[in-house]
Amino acid sequence: MMDGSLNVTVIGGGLIGASWAALFLAHGHKVCVHDVAPDVGVRVRKELHRILPTMQELGLWLDPESLALTFDANLVSAVRNADVVQECGPERLGFKQALWASIEGSCRAGALLLSSSSGITASMQARKMKTPHRMLVGHPFNPPHLIPLVEVVPGRKTSPESARRARDFYVALGKRAVVLNKEIPGFVANRIQAAVIRESVSLVRQGVVSLEDLDVAVQSSLGLRWATGGPFLSAHLGGGAGGVKGFFKQFAGGLQLLWLHMRLRPVLLTSRTQASLIDGVGLAYGGRSIDEWASVRDGQQVAILQALAAAEAGEEANG
């Protein structure tokens, strides 16, 4: 169990490290930041001051005058008392492999070793470790102090116990922790994002739409839609009374043609694939009727639209 105030060592006090530090501190953990940059203390404190009003708005008190925050340029002493290490260093395989191999002997036996990597799997990172069972990926979305998702991605040698502890640690921080069943470079959210960015760049490069209008198009459609339900729930609500079955009936052929046009390796929407996805949607969302889900979605989308309008009005009033 990892209850109460923990010693968390953040390795790398850049964009992600400072944001994680704010969240850890706001939840009462003691944070030690290790970084090789001499100005890390100034940078992290400045970022904490910037984040402070947001955390207070969320009801998480963060008093900059009495933060349980230390800095240690010595890697060995920085990790010695850590219950959790959250690595936020450069996204380079060589750096991460060398780091884990060099600190595992200095950490407590029960310390949980977590990497914020955006796409390098734990199996690759832990290749030179003697204790890979306690190392795994805890991938946040920027900024970790705000965006709920953390992808918990165990490596081939990560123990189920470490994966469970990592999930519990993030859930206690108020995160939505999704544990992946299988490792894959880029994990889930970044692979989906990569597909969207690929097509965005392609559309702008082809001159189909301006860069600004592409952003408007995404923000005003998929952004809002996906804030209230992912692709599968959205498909269920996009198929009329027939739900996801109706969606495939109406759109499967068109989707296959579009994927070909976009030169993407096609994922065949065979009747077997469709049947298995329809079953999956039934299991995930069958507890409510389509009408009920549509009302939930509408209520949430209205709340988001109103919140955005209020925030915009506030920005205008503040000049």
Ligand X SMILES: NC(=O)c1ccc[n+]([C@@H]2O[C@H](COP(=O)([O-])OP(=O)(O)OC[C@H]3O[C@@H](n4cnc5c(N)ncnc54)[C@H](O)[C@@H]3O)[C@@H](O)[C@H]2O)c1
**Residue ranges binding ligand X (CB under 6 A):** 11-17, 34-37, 88-91, 116-118, 139-140, 142
Measured CA to CA, the distance from residue 41 to residue 199 in angstroms comes to 39
Complete edge-to-edge strand list for the sheet that includes strand 69-71: 69-71, 30-34, 7-11, 84-87, 112-115, 135-140, 149-154, 176-179
**HSE of 160, CA atoms in CB hemisphere, 13 A:** 1
Q: Which is nearer to ligand X, 86 or 131 (CB)?
A: 86
In angstroms, give the least distance from the CB of 251 to ligand X.
Answer: 32
Is residue 281 a contact partner of residue 293, using CB atoms and an 8 Å limit?
no
Residues with Cβ < 8 Å from 142, sequence gap 6 or more? Answer: 15, 16, 19
In angstroms, give the least distance from the CB of 139 to ligand X.
Answer: 6
- Tell me how far CA of residue 205 lies from CA of 59, 197, 214, 305, in angstroms: 44, 12, 11, 31
In angstroms, give the least distance from the CB of 296 to ligand X.
Answer: 29
In angstroms, give the least distance from the CB of 19 to ligand X.
Answer: 8
DSSP state of 223: I
In angstroms, give the least distance from the CB of 73 to ligand X.
Answer: 9
Q: Which is nearer to ligand X, 144 or 239 (CB)?
A: 144
In angstroms, give the least distance from the CB of 40 to ligand X.
Answer: 6
Q: Which is nearer to ligand X, 127 or 297 (CB)?
A: 127
Measured CA to CA, the distance from residue 63 to residue 150 in angstroms comes to 25
Measured CA to CA, the distance from residue 89 to residue 95 in angstroms comes to 8
Measured CA to CA, the distance from residue 313 to residue 319 in angstroms comes to 10
10 Å CB burial of residue 148 (0-12, 13-18, 19+) is: middle
CA dihedral 142, 138, 33, 68 (to 10 degrees): 90
Q: Which is nearer to ligand X, 71 or 259 (CB)?
A: 71
CB atoms within 10 A of CB 246: 16
In angstroms, give the least distance from the CB of 183 to ligand X.
Answer: 16
